[in-house]
Structure formats: structure tokens, C-alpha cells
């Protein structure tokens, strides 16, 4: 029995696609039939995760028989984000899914209390983590309102913003990261309410501790330890990027036809304690 691809005939943009969660989501989307536009500063992955360095995300998708392009993108830059959306339309004719995934945690390897954190850390963190979500949604919605709804659902678009459990809880030494992810979760709800009448879905995912390059920096800085994380997770430890990607597929599919404005915790039970 052939399992139907849940994202067949959909065009998806994934920012921060070269590494970590973005790479896993882009690969999962392609596996489910989507044509993928990979946006990142550079196509190469970050060197922290060795298994990601063999082949760029878009190249791997094409090698596996999928359709993908790479568009160099500074997610905090207005023109670059507009170009990213325009590139999707130019290459594939439309845009159905946007995953605002790109993010940074300057504080991961330099944790400090708020009163000693440089102003520049705030500016950079909000530019990449929050402004990028605003820009991505702005240009994606503009395109989604222009085009014909997706068939057969009749929906015009799916926006998935990657927030964090740190947008809802707090941890020492990360004031600006927590603030930026709180902004992502809040903006998600507003977009969902504003554009529901146009059949545009907007949801966010709040990952817990997940084994990415940022995770390597966090554990390497001494902020937390693997043993401590294993104790705090009811499922026994941090997750993998694929755990987040699976849920990102659901939120971009008809399986979530009646879901919008939600912030989904995918965290191995961390926030349930």
C-alpha cells in the first residue's frame, strides 16, 4: 500500500535550512512531496554536527529525487526576505508554506544576567529571531493573498514559526533569547486571528532542548549538562531535529485543517514538570 504524500503539490520556504531544525524540516517536507526553497546565509551547514556537512540541504533533496533551490538570505533584511518569496514564486509558481525557522542564541555560549548584557546582543537577537518572522510573514501573506487557494483544501497558506519553550518559561542567562521567542509566539497568534478569514493558517512550534548546533553551544558553555537535561525530561533527554520536523509536517498538512494560532510544545515533556 502506497502512503500518500501529505504535502504533495505544495511549495515551501524554510529559513535557516542549512543546519539543525531547518535542515530536518526541509528534508521532511521534500519527503512528503513539497518543492522546497532553502533560505540561509550560506548553503553549507554549521560544522558542529558532522553528519550534516557531507552535502548541502538543497543538493541532498535533489539527490533523493525532490525539487529544491537555495536562495542566500539574511532573514533580518527586508529586501532579502522579499527576494526569498519572489524566488519561490519565480521557480515554482506559488508559495503555500513558510517556515520561519532561522534563529540565533548569542547567549548560548555567553550567558549573562540582563544588567550585564550588551545592548548589541538585544539588537542582533531581535533582528534574527523576531524581525525575521515579521518580514517572512509579511511577504508570504502578500503572495498567498494574490494566488488561487490550494486544492482541494481551499486554504491559501500555512505559516509555521519556530519559537521555543524559552518563550513561555525562563532560564538564567538568556533574557534576550527568551524575549525574542516570546515575541514569536505572540505574533503567531495575532497573524492567525488576522488572516483566518482568508484561510491562512499560522501556528508556532516551541521545541525543547534539541540536539542542534545551538544545543552544542549551550551544553558546552556550562549553562546546563546532559545529565541534568536527562533528569528534567520525562522522556529521558533532549530530542532530535527530526522530532520537530515531524510536527512541522503535520502543521503544514490537512491533518491540521482546524488548527491555527496554536503554540505546540514539542519538548519531551520538559514543560509539563
Distance CA 178, CA 164 (A): 8
Provide the residue count of the chain: 273
User: Residue 216 has what pLDDT?
Assistant: 58
Give per-residue pLDDT as tens, 163-212.
Answer: 999 999 998 999 999 999 999 999 999 999 999 999 999 999 999 999 87
- What's domain 11-272's architecture? 3-Layer(aba) Sandwich (3.40)
> Which helix (H) or strand (E) element contains residue 205?
strand 200-207
**CA distances in angstroms from 155 to 74, 197, 199, 256, listed in the order given:** 29, 10, 5, 11
Give per-residue pLDDT as tens, 43-59.
Answer: 998 765 556 667 999 99
**Over residues 226-244, mean pLDDT:** 84
Give catalytic residue positions: 177
User: Residue 51 has what pLDDT?
Assistant: 60
Question: Among candidates 29, 42, 44, 119, which has minimal Cα distance to 75?
Answer: 42
Instruction: Give the percent of the chain with pLDDT over 90.
Output: 81
Amino acid at each position: 500500500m502506497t502512503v500518500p504524500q501529505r504535502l504533495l503539490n505544495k511549495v515551501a520556504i524554510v529559513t535557516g535550512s542549512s543546519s539543525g531544525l531547518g535542515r530536518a524540516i526541509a528534508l521532511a517536507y521534500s519527503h512528503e512531496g513539497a518543492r522546497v526553497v532553502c533560505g540561509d546565509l550560506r548553503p553549507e551547514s554549521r560544522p558542529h554536527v558532522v553528519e550534516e556537512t557531507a552535502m548541502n540541504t538543497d543538493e541532498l533533496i535533489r539527490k533523493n529525487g525532490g525539487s529544491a533551490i537555495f536562495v542566500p538570505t539574511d532573514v533580518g533584511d527586508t529586501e532579502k526576505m522579499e527576494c526569498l518569496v519572489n524566488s519561490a514564486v519565480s521557480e515554482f509558481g506559488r508559495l503555500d508554506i513558510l517556515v520561519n525557522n532561522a534563529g540565533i542564541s548569542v547567549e548560548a555560549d555567553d550567558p549573562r544576567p540582563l544588567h550585564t548584557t550588551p545592548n548589541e546582543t538585544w539588537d542582533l537577537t531581535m533582528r534574527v529571531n523576531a524581525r525575521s518572522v515579521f518580514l517572512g510573514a509579511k511577504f508570504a501573506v502578500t503572495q498567498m493573498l494574490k494566488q488561487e487557494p490550494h486544492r482541494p483544501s481551499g486554504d491559501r497558506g500555512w505559516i509555521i514559526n519556530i519559537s521555543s519553550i524559552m518563550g513561555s518559561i525562563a532560564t538564567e542567562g538568556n533574557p534576550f533569547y527568551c524575549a525574542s521567542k516570546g515575541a514569536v509566539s505572540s505574533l503567531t497568534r495575532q497573524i492567525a486571528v488576522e488572516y483566518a478569514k482568508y484561510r491562512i493558517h499560522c501556528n508556532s512550534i516551541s521545541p525543547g532542548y534539541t540536539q542542534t548546533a545551538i544545543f552544542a553551544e549551550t551544553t558546552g558553555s556550562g549553562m546546563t549538562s546532559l545529565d541534568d537535561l536527562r533528569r528534567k525530561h520525562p522522556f529521558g533527554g533532549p530530542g532530535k531535529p527530526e522530532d520537530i520536523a515531524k510536527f512541522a509536517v503535520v502543521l503544514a498538512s490537512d491533518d491540521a485543517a482546524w488548527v491555527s494560532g496554536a503554540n505546540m510544545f514539542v519538548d519531551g515533556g520538559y514543560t509539563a514538570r
